[in-house]
Amino acid sequence: MRSSRDAPVDRMGVEKCYDSSAPPQVMRYQVLLSLMLSSQTKDEVTSAAMLRLRQRGLTVDSILQMDDVTLGEIIYPVGFWRNKVKYIKQTTAILKQKYGGDIPSTVEELVKLPGVGPKMAHLAMHIAWNNVSGIGVDTHVHRITNRLKWVKKETRSPEETRVALEDWLPRDLWREINWLLVGFGQQTCLPVNPRCRECLNQDICPAAKRR
């Protein structure tokens, strides 16, 4: 069902938002920023905001030199944009002072940054550092794995879901499960009115049988 790779995440997800030709340190910063912007925001909106930022030359120094009003105008209408302006400025200053303008290379250090949660940290490790530290669980992965009963008992948060999935899912699948299920959630297993009749899982999915 995901073989065509034509969901929004495939065209405009975080892995498509950074400048792959930028120096590695700049690329990693752009990955982290795109993850921070993507929270509670559709891929299309995140992608457009990142494009506007990149047109200004998206680096640690350019963000530090930008005033809050301008940054807000550029990233609007991402979700919670006012908070994100604050978090981006605080995190960028920390990166400059503590990491020489690069991003941390461990989950433990990443989650200490303002506005960076576990999902973002694990995805940053995957994309920026090419290091699979854990499964990136967002609302799509959380919802779908509970519907499919891929967790032994219902989980209440993405972080609970991550721990439950990592307990049994082979590590070599940790990298791909995020984009697979995010796209599946965008196209088929929707939050409301999932398209069960179109889904190839309809005969084995516990949630489909109730619909």
Residues catalogued as catalytic: 119
| CA–CA distance, 135 with 159 (Å, rounded to integer) | 10
The residues, ordered by sequence, that sit 6+ positions from 36 with a Cβ below 8 Å of its Cβ are 84, 87, 88, 91, 115, 116, 120
Tokens coding 201: 């899982």
The residues, ordered by sequence, that sit 6+ positions from 71 with a Cβ below 8 Å of its Cβ are 63, 85, 88, 89
| CA–CA distance, 167 with 134 (Å, rounded to integer) | 11
Max Cα distance, the chain (Å): 56
CA distances, 176 to each of 16, 36, 142, 143 (Å): 15, 20, 15, 17
